Amino acid sequence: MLSLGSLACVAIGGAAGGLGRWGLKQWPGGHLGTWVANMLACALLGALSAATPSSSSLLFLLAGTGGAGALSTWSTLAAEWGALLTGRHYRRLGAEVIASLAGGIAAAALGGWAAGALLPAL
């Protein structure tokens, strides 16, 4: 069962992540904002995974579950890819799928590496 503090962390992080996603969605072209939001969320989760000993820590709940969870967006990504598919924009769809999968893995790895490199210095 979630404590009140844990719930507050998820809610505050979710509000911040949601505002960040809304801001990125204002970029022209739409798809780029969605991609950047998802890459930032992957990098944040990679960093948190390297920096926090437990996914139940308040930091992970605030920034990971709340912040990265609200910043990333599967539903918008699926809608954008669905529109590309129904519009028969197969090359762009393929490029976006590859960029999202490869970029997400790379962003998570980079976030984990950055956290690992910075933590000993703190």
Output the known binding site.
Answer: 69, 72
Q: Which residues are annotated as a binding site for Na(+)?
A: 69, 72
Calpha distance 49→25 (Å, rounded): 26
Taking Cα atoms as reference points, which of 39, 45, 35, 36 lies closest to residue 13?
A: 45
DSSP string, 35-52: HHHHHHHHHHHHHHHHH-
By the 8 A CB rule, do 85 and 20 touch? no
Calpha distance 21→57 (Å, rounded): 24
Q: Which two tokens stand for residue 77?
A: 């990504």
